[in-house]
Amino acid sequence: MNENDLSVYVITALLPLTAFMLIFQVNPYHALVMRGILGAIAALVYAVLGAADVALTEALVGTMLAITLYAVAVRSSLVMRLGILKDLSTQGERQFEQLLDDLRIILGKRHMRLEVFPYTDMQSLDQALIEKEVHAVCSQRSQPQSDFEQDYAACENDKLCFHTAVRVQRLYEIMQAELTSPGNILTYVKPSGSKEEHS
């Protein structure tokens, strides 16, 4: 190994370099790709230093299995599930698309995705929120409830008025701070199903 000493040192120096690149990643998907790069470099370093079995394990488990499993885990956890009524998108198409686009931008800042689940009627929509199938529901209430009369009066000129109920507190805080679409009423629903507060 004497004549190869310098190259071995340089190859080994690549490992902390890629490790720093990995830990400074913000986006989880980019970090997964960087983890793959780190795994490839690590396998090379182990092979060069003579540990062929460790290199093989790193390539098989560290690179292949770990990043695939983590990709599936990140994909299913960084998502907001929004339940809507099936005919909502046809009734107020433009305004609703605007609302969804705003929501996508807000969630995109936090590397999250928006998944929309259509439901056939109001009852199954409410049931889905209570049974934690979705994180939030967006609907167009025709008969205003007494709590929201003021809000409905505010958007009476604009006939399309959406009511979004969120059951995750952190999502509610984020949406309350940043979602400024006109004609959207945001409420926080406690997991038990009782309505707490509204804005």
Partner 1 sequence: MNLVIMAMILALLIPIYEAWKNDEVWQRMLAFASIATKTAIMALVISVLRDDWMIGIVAVIILSVGNAALMLLAHVIKRINDVSN
Closest distance of CB 15 from partner 1, Å: 11
Task: Tell me whether residue 28 or residue 144 sits nearer to partner 1 (CB atom).
Answer: 28
Site for partner 1 in 109-128 (CB under 8 A): 113-115
Residue 148 per-residue DSSP state:
G
* 37 touching partner 1, by CB under 8 A: yes
Which tokens belong to 158? 């604009």
- Element holding 84 (H helix, E strand): strand 79-85
Closest distance of CB 157 from partner 1, Å: 33
* 7 touching partner 1, by CB under 8 A: yes
The helix/strand/coil state of 183 is coil
Task: Tell me whether residue 26 or residue 157 sits nearer to partner 1 (CB atom).
Answer: 26
* 34 touching partner 1, by CB under 8 A: yes
What is the number of other CB atoms lying within 10 angstroms of the CB of residue 50?
9
Cα 104-108-75 angle, rounded to 5 deg: 100
Task: Tell me whether residue 88 or residue 114 sits nearer to partner 1 (CB atom).
Answer: 114
* 59 touching partner 1, by CB under 8 A: yes
Residue from 16, 56, 118, 169 in contact with partner 1 (CB under 8 A): 56
Tell me which residue of 20, 42, 22 sits closest to 31, measured CA to CA: 22
- Structural contact between residues 34 and 63, judged by C-beta atoms closer than 8 angstroms: no
* 63 touching partner 1, by CB under 8 A: yes
Closest distance of CB 63 from partner 1, Å: 5
Instruction: Write 4-12 long-range contacts (CB < 8 A, 24+).
Output: 8/48, 8/49, 11/44, 11/45, 11/48, 12/45, 12/48, 12/49
Interacting residues with partner 1 (CB under 8 A): 3-4, 6-7, 10-11, 14, 17-18, 21, 27, 29-30, 32-34, 36-37, 40-41, 43-44, 47-48, 50, 52-53, 55-56, 59-60, 63-64, 67-68, 71-72, 75, 104, 113-115
